[in-house]
Chains A and B, each alone.
Chain A
Amino acid sequence: MALFGSIEWATAFMEAVNASKAYEDAAKTWEGDFYFIIEPGGAVKEPGYQYIDLWHGKCRKVDVVTTATKDKYKPEFVLSASVSTWRKVAEKKVDPIQAIVTRQLKLQGNMGKVMRAVKAAQELVNCVTQVKTEYPE
């Protein structure tokens, strides 16, 4: 069991992505890195930054940084939400695109590019479901 937002979780997620043929097929032309930000609230006192670099169907790198070190990366996309929203997405209670559209999941970056990769987004969520996750709630 890995704590969502920890480097252990990010590493397990990277392994799940790199083992997924479905994600590889769906994201074969995808080039773009992300910050997945966990917003403060409840048990989360400080924002958490997970850096995920996705490239041509693979995850090239993951990292976890803090508010003090967040300038280490300048990702193309930033997705931020409360831990409860991340959990709803991860547990497929809400579709990630629907979560973006209803502003539960806040996206910074080229929306058009994301909307052309909905299958990859869906497969990414399938990869999340492969990671046994504990949520800091």
Chain B
Amino acid sequence: MQFFGVPFTAFGDDSLQYLNTILGKRALIVTDKNIVKLGLIGLIGAELKQANIDYMVFDEVEPDPSIQTVMKSTAIAKDYKPDWIIGVGGGSSMDTSKSTLVCYAANITPLDMSPSDFYNLRATAKLICIPTTSGTGSEATWAIVLTDTENERKVGLGSYETLPDIAILDPRMVMSMPPQITGDTGMDALCHAIEGYVATWRSIFTDGPGLVAIKVVFENLKKAFDNGKDEDARKMMMYAASMAGTSFGNGMAGLGHSTGHAIGGLFHMPHGRAVGLYLPYTMEYMVNGSEEAKARYAVIARFCNIAQGDDKSCALKLIAAVRDLAKNVGQPLAVKDTNIKRDAYMKAMPGLVDRAVNEAMTIAVTRVPDAEELEKMFVCAYDGKPCDF
């Protein structure tokens, strides 16, 4: 048995207007201070007012949100008693909103959340997610990533009930994204789509959105990075990120994510930059030992008009195209190109490997690396050398 779930999605120009059609009394908006400063909450508030819904704003979400932050937002929700939780922002805000819904409506702590349990959350509140970046795809998934600050580790959580009821993709929300965040988050979308397309948990339902998302990212990310005012490119990237979320959220991500999460937990590299950095190295590893992955990469390369020909050459050209795109959108191609010193990285190696080994994404691939192979991959990614094993 496999599942496939997607939220009801309002998208396109002025799609925030969908908010003035919802029924309810109170909404808790979960976001960060920067989103408030940009005036984006005002746009949402205006629509909620038209729907006669009072709202309150929790704006204390930090990058890599902690369990403690969720406990704070939950305390506010328990006091305010909203019938809607609205996550507005990047993955951090949306994941905090999902966690807040569970902890508030089921009266549990984040780590108690289990996909096995039935919480009947909708008896208390419903969930809307409104992305302000184009990468995380969190608005289209039930997955939640929080940071266990005590153990410097990212924790993957979730329940099928944390799939948002409604996702709103209004291009106005992403127009002010600076180029660096456009590049970082765009690489996250690409990584979700490619990894979702080759994951062992994939299905016929995840293939379509994954494949289309990859093509759209290749066609639009650089345009959105070069010219943030390019509305069409912004729009297409926003849709691609959500489709990529649908793909990997109903399947699974892969090694780019398990290695990226590891460095994110220990060195606080932005999520999209981290997974995008490791993606080509992990793809090389897959090509070297998995016929299935190689064939799937080749399908992507052909579909995106990157290459034609035999599987191996297509797969390698896809990897080269990923590196080219990353370079063109301001991404580091190796860890040595970041501010992480080699000594610190090598010293952290046992922790990096331990974290990557114990990610669900590491076992949902067609070639599962052991600890030794993961360490070699981490070293290759530091030095910028291809994974030739």
Interface residues of A (CB under 8 A from B): 25-26, 95, 97-98, 100-113, 115-120, 122
- Contact in complex: A95, B1 (CB < 8 Å): no
- Contact in complex: B360, A112 (CB < 8 Å): no
- Contact in complex: A118, B362 (CB < 8 Å): yes
Of B89-97, B107-115, B271-279, B305-313, the one touching chain A: B107-115
Shortest C-beta distance, B367 to chain A (Å), equals 14
**Bound complex: CA A100 to CA B160 (Å):** 11
- Contact in complex: A102, B362 (CB < 8 Å): no
**Bound complex: CA A135 to CA B371 (Å):** 34
Shortest C-beta distance, A5 to chain B (Å), equals 20
- Contact in complex: A118, B155 (CB < 8 Å): no
Instruction: Give the residue name and chain of the B residue nearest to A78 (CB).
Output: B116
- Contact in complex: B111, A110 (CB < 8 Å): yes
**Bound complex: CA A14 to CA B155 (Å):** 29
Interface size class of B (residues with CB under 8 A): 20 to 34
Instruction: Give the residue name and chain of the A residue nearest to B117 (CB).
Output: A108
Point out the residue from B155, B157, B363, B371 that lies within 8 Å of A97, measured CB to CB.
B363
Shortest C-beta distance, A68 to chain B (Å), equals 25
- Contact in complex: A119, B1 (CB < 8 Å): no
Hey, what's the 0/1 contact readout for B1-41 against A, CB within 8 Å counting as 1?
11100000000000000000000000000000000000000
Instruction: Give the residue name and chain of the B residue nearest to A110 (CB).
Output: B111
**Contact A101:B358 (CB < 8 A) given known A111-B157, A112-B155:** no
Interface residues of B (CB under 8 A from A): 1-3, 110-117, 148, 153, 155-157, 160, 200-201, 252, 357-360, 362-364, 368, 371
**Contact A108:B363 (CB < 8 A) given known A116-B155, A117-B358, A118-B358:** no
- Contact in complex: B115, A101 (CB < 8 Å): yes
Please give, as numbers and ranges, the residues of chain A lying within 8 Å of B156 by CB-CB distance: 115
Shortest C-beta distance, B363 to chain A (Å), equals 6
Give 21 pairs: A residue, B residue, CB < 8 Å, sorted on A. Answer: A95-B201, A95-B364, A97-B360, A98-B201, A98-B252, A101-B115, A102-B3, A102-B115, A103-B116, A105-B116, A107-B114, A108-B114, A108-B116, A110-B111, A111-B115, A112-B110, A112-B155, A115-B358, A116-B153, A118-B357, A122-B368
- Contact in complex: B157, A119 (CB < 8 Å): no
- Contact in complex: B148, A112 (CB < 8 Å): yes
Shortest C-beta distance, B160 to chain A (Å), equals 8
Please give, as numbers and ranges, the residues of chain A lying within 8 Å of B117 by CB-CB distance: 108
Please give, as numbers and ranges, the residues of chain B lying within 8 Å of A113 by CB-CB distance: 111
Shortest C-beta distance, B321 to chain A (Å), equals 30
Please give, as numbers and ranges, the residues of chain A lying within 8 Å of B371 by CB-CB distance: 25
- Contact in complex: B2, A115 (CB < 8 Å): no
Point out the residue from B114, B155, B160, B200 that lies within 8 Å of A95, measured CB to CB.
B200
Please give, as numbers and ranges, the residues of chain A lying within 8 Å of B114 by CB-CB distance: 100, 107-109, 111
**Bound complex: CA A117 to CA B362 (Å):** 11
Please give, as numbers and ranges, the residues of chain A lying within 8 Å of B363 by CB-CB distance: 95, 97, 118-119, 122
**Bound complex: CA A115 to CA B357 (Å):** 11
Q: Which of B2, B116, B360 has the most CB of A within 10 A?
A: B116
